[in-house]
Structure 1
Amino acid sequence: MTQPKKSGVAASQMRKRRRKLSSAPRSILDNDLYKFSMGNAVLQRYPNIRVAYKFTDRRCKGNWTPEALAVLQRRINEMARLKLTAEERAYCVVALPWINRAFWDFLANYRYDPSEVSVSLDASNNLKLDIRGLWCRTIFWEVPLLALISEVYYEYIDTNWSEDGQVEKMEGKAQRLFDAGVAWGDFGTRRRRHFAAQERVVAIGKKYANFTGTSNVYLAMKHGVKALGTMAHEWVMGHAALVSLKHANRAALVAWKEVYGGNLGTALPDTYGTDAFLRDFDGELARLYDSVRHDSGDPYAWYEKLVAHYISLSVDWRTKPAGFTDGNTDTSAIEINGYVRGRGGKCWFGIGTSMSNDYGDESPAVAIVIKLYEVIDQHGIVTKVVKISDNPEKAGGDHDALRVAKYTHLGIPLDAAA
Structure 2
Amino acid sequence: MFLKNNFSIISSLLDNDFYKFTMQNAVIKLFPFAKAKYEFINRGNHSFPENFSKILKESLNKMSHLKLSKEERTYLEKYCPYLDSSYLDFLNQYQYNPKEVNIYQKGKNIKMDIEGLWSRTILWEVPLMAIISELYYKLAGIKRISDKKIVFLTKKKLKEYKKLKVKIGEYGTRRRYSYQVHKLVLKILIDEGAPFFVGSSNVHLSHIFSIKPIGTKGHEWIMFHGSKYGLNTADRIAMENWLNIYKGNLGIALSDTYTSSVFFKNFNEKLSNSFKGIRHDSGDPILFAKEAIKHYQKFKINPIKKEIIFSDNLNPYKVSYISSFCKEKINPFFGIGTNFTNDVGVPSMNMVIKMVESFPKKNWISVVKLSNVKEKSTGKKNMIFLARKILHL
Q: Please classify the TM superposition score into its range, dividing by the shorter chain length.
A: over 0.9
Question: Residue 154 of structure 2 aligns with which residue?
Answer: 170
Q: Which amino acid aligns with 2:55?
A: V
Greater Cα shift, 348-357 or 219-228 = 219-228
Q: Does 1:400 align with 2:382?
A: yes
Q: Distance in 2 between matches of 1:296 and 1:245?
A: 19
* Deviation at residue 345 of structure 1 after TM alignment: 2.2
* Deviation at residue 198 of structure 1 after TM alignment: 1.2
Question: Residue 59 of structure 2 aligns with which residue?
Answer: 75
Q: Which amino acid aligns with 1:375?
A: S
Greater Cα shift, 278-287 or 344-353 = 344-353
Question: Residue 331 of structure 1 aligns with which residue?
Answer: 317
Q: Distance in 2 between matches of 1:358 and 1:286?
A: 36
SS where residue 120 of structure 1 aligns? strand
Q: Distance in 2 between matches of 1:336 and 1:351?
A: 13
Question: Residue 140 of structure 1 aligns with which residue?
Answer: 123
Q: Distance in 2 between matches of 1:107 and 1:293?
A: 27
Structure 1 stretches of 4+ moved >4 Å: none
What pairs up with 1:242-261 in 2 under 5 angstroms? Answer: 242-261=228-247
What TM-score, normalized to structure 2? 0.96
Pick aligned residue for 1:192 from 173, 176, 193: 176
Q: Does 1:385 align with 2:370?
A: no
Q: Which amino acid aligns with 1:175?
A: K
Q: Kindly indicate whether the alpha-carbon contact (under 8 Å) linking 2:19 and 2:218 is maintained by their aligned counterparts in 1.
A: yes
Structure 2 unaligned regions, length at least 5 = none
Q: Kindly indicate whether the alpha-carbon contact (under 8 Å) linking 2:293 and 2:330 is maintained by their aligned counterparts in 1.
A: no
* Deviation at residue 158 of structure 1 after TM alignment: 5.1
* Deviation at residue 400 of structure 1 after TM alignment: 1.9
Structure 1 unaligned regions, length at least 5 = 1-10, 413-418
Q: Distance in 2 between matches of 1:36 and 1:160?
A: 33
Q: Which amino acid aligns with 1:50?
A: K
Q: Does 1:307 align with 2:290?
A: no
Question: Residue 130 of structure 1 aligns with which residue?
Answer: 113
Pick aligned residue for 2:95 from 111, 130, 145: 111
Q: Does 1:359 align with 2:344?
A: yes
Q: Kindly indicate whether the alpha-carbon contact (under 8 Å) linking 1:24 and 1:79 is maintained by their aligned counterparts in 2.
A: no
* Deviation at residue 87 of structure 1 after TM alignment: 0.4
Question: Residue 45 of structure 1 aligns with which residue?
Answer: 30
What pairs up with 1:188-337 in 2 under 5 angstroms? Answer: 188-206=172-190, 207-209=192-194, 210-337=196-323
Q: Kindly indicate whether the alpha-carbon contact (under 8 Å) linking 1:319 and 1:346 is maintained by their aligned counterparts in 2.
A: yes
Question: Residue 374 of structure 1 aligns with which residue?
Answer: 357
* Deviation at residue 23 of structure 1 after TM alignment: 3.1
SS where residue 355 of structure 2 aligns? strand
Q: Kindly indicate whether the alpha-carbon contact (under 8 Å) linking 2:224 and 2:360 is maintained by their aligned counterparts in 1.
A: no
Q: Kindly indicate whether the alpha-carbon contact (under 8 Å) linking 1:24 and 1:78 is maintained by their aligned counterparts in 2.
A: no
Q: Distance in 2 between matches of 1:316 and 1:348?
A: 17
Q: Kindly indicate whether the alpha-carbon contact (under 8 Å) linking 1:146 and 1:369 is maintained by their aligned counterparts in 2.
A: yes
* Deviation at residue 297 of structure 1 after TM alignment: 0.3
Task: State the number of aligned residues.
Answer: 390
- RMSD after superposition: 1.6
Greater Cα shift, 397-406 or 286-295 = 397-406
Q: Distance in 1 between matches of 2:141 and 2:118?
A: 33
SS where residue 177 of structure 2 aligns? coil
Q: Which amino acid aligns with 1:49?
A: A
Question: Residue 415 of structure 1 aligns with which residue?
Answer: none
Q: Kindly indicate whether the alpha-carbon contact (under 8 Å) linking 1:291 and 1:322 is maintained by their aligned counterparts in 2.
A: yes
Q: Distance in 1 between matches of 2:338 and 2:33?
A: 34
SS where residue 92 of structure 2 aligns? helix
Q: Which amino acid aligns with 1:388?
A: L
Q: Kindly indicate whether the alpha-carbon contact (under 8 Å) linking 2:251 and 2:274 is maintained by their aligned counterparts in 1.
A: yes
Q: Which amino acid aligns with 1:148?
A: I
Q: Distance in 2 between matches of 1:76 and 1:327?
A: 28
* Deviation at residue 99 of structure 1 after TM alignment: 1.1
* Deviation at residue 284 of structure 1 after TM alignment: 0.4
Question: Residue 69 of structure 2 aligns with which residue?
Answer: 85
* Deviation at residue 181 of structure 1 after TM alignment: 0.6
* Deviation at residue 166 of structure 1 after TM alignment: 1.2
Q: Kindly indicate whether the alpha-carbon contact (under 8 Å) linking 1:184 and 1:349 is maintained by their aligned counterparts in 2.
A: yes
SS where residue 23 of structure 1 aligns? coil
Q: Distance in 2 between matches of 1:239 and 1:150?
A: 30
Q: Which amino acid aligns with 2:349?
A: V
SS where residue 44 of structure 2 aligns? coil
Q: Which amino acid aligns with 1:150?
A: S
Pick aligned residue for 2:17 from 32, 38, 51: 32
Q: Distance in 1 between matches of 2:29 and 2:73?
A: 19
Greater Cα shift, 210-219 or 65-74 = 65-74
Q: Kindly indicate whether the alpha-carbon contact (under 8 Å) linking 2:80 and 2:212 is maintained by their aligned counterparts in 1.
A: no
Pick aligned residue for 1:59 from 17, 22, 44: 44
Give CA deviations for 1:330-368 in whole Å, capped at 9, x if unaligned. Answer: 221122112211x432111110001100122xx200011
* Deviation at residue 68 of structure 1 after TM alignment: 2.1
